[in-house]
Amino acid sequence: MKKSIWISFGYAIAAMVCGVFYREFTKFFNFTDKTTLSVTHVHLFLLGAVIFLIVALFNSKLQLDQTKLWKPFLIVYNIGLPFMVVMFLVRGIMQVVGFDGGAVISGIAGVSHITLGAGIVLFFIMLLQAVGKKQSYKNQAV
């Protein structure tokens, strides 16, 4: 549980840093249009900080960190989310400075979203398995 809280804290710090970067970078270039830099802050807070606080709560009740899928979930999710945010940053910086990333950036960003999606699927499978085990223990006790 403590690990999830520290991961959450790390994502919260990264979210604040990205928010400041977005504000200062666009201000420096006098950029007022839309850019994907604006979504890095929210994605890191919600998909990083908030999700890992929720994971910590589930872990406290279901001992998710004792399951086989715990490490794969942590690895895949914590590769997917930073990878996705880096692609937001790359695309956003290119938008601000006036470069077009084209299909290459979109393709790489797609891979990052797929990786994060796989992490989310692993979490739900792990959660369902843990709930199923808890239910079977309750049924045996009755």
pLDDT score of 142: 55
What's the pLDDT band for 101 if we cut at 50, 70, 90? confident
Q: Which three-class secondary structure state does DSSP give residue 10?
A: helix
Mean pLDDT of 112-126: 98
Q: Residue 82 above 80 pLDDT?
A: yes
Mean pLDDT of 43-61: 98
Gap between the Cα atoms of 80 and 115, Å rounded: 5
Q: Which residues contact 113 (CB under 8 A, 6 or more apart)?
A: 80, 84
Domains in the chain: boundaries:
2-132
Q: pTM of this prediction?
A: 0.91
Q: Please give the sequence-ordered ranges of beta strands (E in DSSP) within 11-87, or none if there are none.
A: none
**Cβ neighbour number for residue 4 with a 10 Å cutoff:** 21
Token pair listed for 140: 């045996």
